[in-house]
Structure 1
Amino acid sequence: MTVTDPDGTTTTTYPDGTVVVTKPDGEVITTGPDGTETTEEVDGTVIVAQPDGTTTVTEPDGTETVTTPDGTSTETQPDGSVVVTEPDGTSTETQPDGTVVVTEPDGTSTETQPDGTEIVTTPDGTKTETHPGGTVIVTQPSGTTTETRPDGTTIVTEPDGTVTTTDPEGNVTVERQADLVAYSASVVAASPAVRRSTPTVDALVLVTPSNVYRNGYAVMQSLTVITAQRRL
C-alpha cells in the first residue's frame, strides 16, 4: 500500500512490515521489520541505524563511520586508514603502513612507526623521539634538540648552531658556529699571505672554519679554503 502526502512524500508499506518513505528531494528512508532504518541521502550518503543504537554512515567516497551506543566511533577511510575515537576523546589512527598515532584529549600525540620508533608530541610542541637502538632525541619548541645515545653521550644543538657534546666520561666539547664565522672572516680580511700563496686563484668559493672548545678551552683553530683555479 502506498500513501502520497500533499507535499509529494510517498510512504509504501509492504506485507512483511517494511516501510519505505520517499521524499520529494529524492531522499529515501527504509525501515525494516526489525526496526533497522536505512536513509539514502541525495548526495549518495547512506546511514544505517540499528535498533541497538549503532549507526553506520557510508559516504560517497567510500569512507565508513560506525558509532556504537557508548559513543565510540570507528572511521575506515578508502586508503585503509582506520581512526577509532573513544567517548573520552582519545583517538587512535592506524595507517596503511602500520604506523599508529594515538591522540589524547589534552592534545598529546604518540606516533609508533613500523620500525618501533616512538614519537611523543606534547601540546606545547615538545617532541621526544625514541629509536629502537635506544637513542632519544628531544626537540624543544625553541628549536633546541638534545640527543642522548645508548652509551651516555649527549649532544645539544641550539638554534644558533652551537653544538655541545658531552661524552660518557664527562668531557664537554662546544662548537660555536657564530664564533667560527667571525674567526674565518677576520683571517681572510687580515691575511694577505692567503692571497699571495694562491696566485692562480680566480675566486674564493668557500671558507670553512673550525674553532672547537673542549672543556672551556680553545684547542684547535684551522681554516680550510676551497678555491677555483683559472683555466689555462
Structure 2
Amino acid sequence: MIDEVRGRGPSRRTFLAGTAVVGAGALGLSPLTQASGDGNASGNGTANGTGTAGKRNGTPTVHEMGTDVDVLNYALTLEHLEDVFYREFLNDVSKEEFVNSEALQNFNAWEKRASYDFVRKVGEHESTHVEALTKIIRALGGEPVPECTYDFGVESVGEYLTVAQALENTGVAAYDGALALIESPDLTTASATIATVEARHASFLNFLNGDVPFPAAFDDAKSAEEILAVAGQFVESCPEE
C-alpha cells in the first residue's frame, strides 16, 4: 500500500521541468532556525541556490535538474497567490457581511463569528509562509520570486469561500507532489510541519462549503502542470526581472 501511494507522485526531474508559471498552494517553511541553520542546507551541495533556474516574468523557469531553492521558489510563487487572496478577502468582506452571508445560513451565530476569525487566521498563516520562504531562499543564496498581480473574479462571500477551498486543496496536492523532491532533510522536516497546517486549512474550507472535511484516506499528489491548471488562471501578470 505504501509503495502504491508513493508511486502517485512525480519524479524530481518531471516536477522541476514543469514549474514554469504557477500560483496557489503551499510548501511554506516555518521553523527557519531549524531549516536554514548556517545557510548550507540546499541538500545537493549547491548552497548558493542558483542551480538551473532562470525567470520568466518574475516566476521560476526550472530545467530538469534543479536545486532545493528552485522547489522553494515554486512554493513561494504559490504562497504569494494565497497570501494576496486572503488579504483581498479580508479587505473586501467585513465580519458583519461575512456572518450575514447566505453562504453561511446553515451555521449558528457563534459558528459564523468563529469562522470569520478562522479565515483571518488562515490568512495570517499564508503571510507567515511567504515571509519564511523569502528568508530561507535568501539564506541559501537564492533570489525569491516576487508577488504577482492576480484576478480572483469573486464578488460575494460564497464565491470567496469557493475559491479559498480550491486554493487550499490545490495547495495540499502541491505539497504532496513537491515535499519528497526537497533533498535537504532539514528543509523536508520544516516543510512537513507546514504541510499539515495547509491540510487543516483545506479541511476547514471543505466544511464551510458543505463538503467532507477529509474526503479520502489518501491525498493525490499533483505535478506542477496540474497545479497550474487551477492556480494559473488567477495570475494576471508578474514583474519582469
Assess same fold via TM > 0.5.
no
| TM-score, normalised relative to structure 1 | 0.22
Structure of higher CA gyration radius: 1
Judging by fraction of residues, say which structure has more helix. 2
Judging by fraction of residues, say which structure has more strand. 1
| TM-score, normalised relative to structure 2 | 0.21
Question: Bigger relative contact order, structure 1 or 2, given CA contacts below 8 A and separation 6+?
Answer: 2
